[in-house]
Amino acid sequence: LNDFIQSVITSILSNEPYNWLICEGSSEKKYFETYFKDEIANKKLRVIPVGGAPQIKKIYQNLLVTYDDFKKDVKGKVILLMDTDTKLVEFETKNNDHNNLKCFRLVNYQNKTVLVDVNKTPKTPKTEIEDALCGKTFFETLKMFSQDEEILKFIESINEEEITEESVYYSLDISSKKEQALSKIFKKENFKFEFSEKYCKKIESNHKIPEWIMELKSHFK
């Protein structure tokens, strides 16, 4: 961990700095590498999955201690992003004090997915990246797995004509019963990553990029 923190700090102090997007898991990395391909190519952005919210907390807090010593010289940006889990990992952030080091939590709120400070409201509902993808592309991708009876049953419970490009949670009108079914599907071995690969291949030029992704992009301009 200390070596990683040191590498990040050194890279954002450079005259040609790197930028970092630190996320929870490998499926998130897949989505972000697709949505942020221009930033990766042109802004020296690196996407790093670290294995969950507790690791996000540990890395942010360690970065914060060192960042305060060098904040006047920081040129690159570090954004950390975590899900909203049922057992929420909470800690204080200094997003308002530091332009180049921010930590956000992803949550569905008032008909859209938003980025909030980790310890701020809202703190429900449970929101993972799959809940925040483009609903139409998500459903088209899910249909590619329809040979699975459990997935087919879920697909048939959705009125396809009503699906929009809003976040999955709202586009597919994820009720408690549907959430349980979807959660069970995504807990299948390797399914999250296999789904992310197929979803990313279905992203086309006319695909609506989620607003929260565009907000993240704005931090790397």
In order, the DSSP letters of 115-126 are EEETTSSP--S-
The whole-angstrom separation of Cα 88 and Cα 56 is 12
Three-state SS annotation for 152-169: HHHHHCCCHHHCCCCEHH
For residue 204, what pLDDT band results from cuts at 50, 70 and 90? confident
Instruction: Choose among 177, 127, 194, 185: nearest CA to 151.
Output: 185
Residue 104's identity, in one-letter code, is F
Mean pLDDT of the chain, nearest integer: 94
Q: What is the DSSP code (8-state) at residue 90?
A: -
> How confident is the model over 170-182, as pLDDT tens digits?
999 988 889 999 9
Reported as a pLDDT band with limits 50, 70 and 90, residue 207 is confident
Sequence letter at residue 4: F
- pLDDT band at residue 81 using 50, 70 and 90 as cut-offs: very high
Segments in the chain forming alpha helices (H)? 2-13, 26-35, 37-42, 53-70, 135-142, 149-156, 168-171, 176-186, 191-202, 211-218
Average pLDDT over residues 74-102: 95
d(CA 67, CA 63): 6
Provide the pLDDT for residue 63.
96
**Number of H-type helices and E-type strands within the chain:** 10, 5
The pTM of the full predicted model, rounded to 2 decimals, is 0.94
